Chain A
Amino acid sequence: MDIISSELWSPYVVGAAIGILVWIGFIFSNKAIGCSTAYARTAGMGERLVRGDKVEDKPYYKEFVPKIDWEWMLVLGVVIGAFISSTLSGSFRIETVPRIWQESFGSSAILRYVGALIGGSLLGFGARMAGGCTSGHGISGTSQLSLGSWLAFIFFFIGGILTAVILYGGF
């Protein structure tokens, strides 16, 4: 079956199908698809292991209680869904240093891991400050015509484009 093994589908088909997933989330769960609060909750769960229930005194964790919720399960599902997709298409492989990174920074896996850790920290911090990520603001929020989500979506890309040009643009 071509459709199962084809590694890349049309972006229009993929996008429309993601839009339909947004409908499904709304209809059956009364929820908007998003990913970044799951990271905040998990960070709180990690802190609780170290510091105990005092963690819940932090004002931020009063709002985003460190527990497994709908969105947390969604992010877990994303890992598994991508695993299933890449296994079926045959694109699953252990990747340490992606090509474009290598062109700018060389083939050191350690350097890439440190970079990923720093990039991830900025994403985690920025997403919580902005109140969402590329999914929560960029797809679900924009679909609801939320003013703040459109603003966030635009600034995600302004920051991303400028930084990518500096890092990988060959200057």
Chain B
Amino acid sequence: MLEDLYKKKKLQLFFGFLIGIGFGFLLDRGGATDFNIIVDQLLLRDFRVLKIIFSAIITGMIGVHVIVKYLPPRLQPKPCRWKPIVLGGLIFGVGFAVLGLCPGTAAGAMGTGAVHGAFGVLGMLLGAGIFASFYTYIEDFMSRSDLGPITIPETLGIDRWLVILAFSIILISVMLFLEIIGF
């Protein structure tokens, strides 16, 4: 039944659009479409953004693992290409601070009237385009350190529900600690 739904191409595009509307709405209500809130997080002056991400991870993590247990969807972890992830992650981080927004929140910021957010979107198109041209020369670097689409429970050889429990406890503790010390 659900598999048939996945094959309906146009309806799926509409679902993507609807989920996007919800996501954009929530990012804005969370304050994540605001340059100042993102930069205050990176300066560790305010932890609103981290609290949003941690709460999303806990909720998402539990739900997704229940879903893949009982419904047709399977986990779709991205390949762990550790060298490109580390280097690309650091480059992303520099851009994250300079723009003060990320790919999702910049699109949202544009919707809230941030002209500079629109320039950020333009920049991302440019950067992604440059990467696509550059890709031929770094294909070797991109694939050499690929450990495959592995998950943390697989890597550690521990039951996934135990990992979920441990991660939930750690993330909740961090948030509790932040609240206690006044963030």
From known contacts A100-B35, A131-B81, infer whether A21 and B116 are also in contact, taking CB-CB under 8 Å: no
| Among candidates A15, A131, A143, A164, residue contacting B43 with C-beta atoms closer than 8 Å | A164
In the complex, B163 has a CB within 8 A of chain A: yes
Least CB distance, B101 to chain A, in whole angstroms: 8
* Prevailing SS type, chain B contact patch: helix
Q: How far is the CA of A77 from the CA of B104 in the complex (A)?
A: 10
Minimal beta-carbon separation of B170 from chain A (angstroms): 12
Q: A77-B17, A122-B123 are in contact. List 15 more A-B contacts (CB 8 A).
A: A16-B55, A17-B22, A47-B129, A60-B136, A74-B16, A77-B20, A78-B104, A82-B110, A83-B24, A85-B29, A123-B99, A124-B129, A126-B91, A130-B89, A149-B78
| A contact residues vs B (CB 8 Å cutoff) | 6-9, 11-33, 35-36, 38-40, 42-44, 46-47, 58-61, 64, 68-86, 89, 91-101, 109, 112-113, 115-152, 154-165, 167-169
B-side residues, CB < 8 A to A, are 2, 5-6, 12-31, 33-36, 39-40, 42-44, 48-49, 51-61, 63-64, 67-68, 71-73, 75-82, 84-100, 102-117, 119-136, 139, 142, 147, 149-153, 155, 160, 163-164, 167, 175
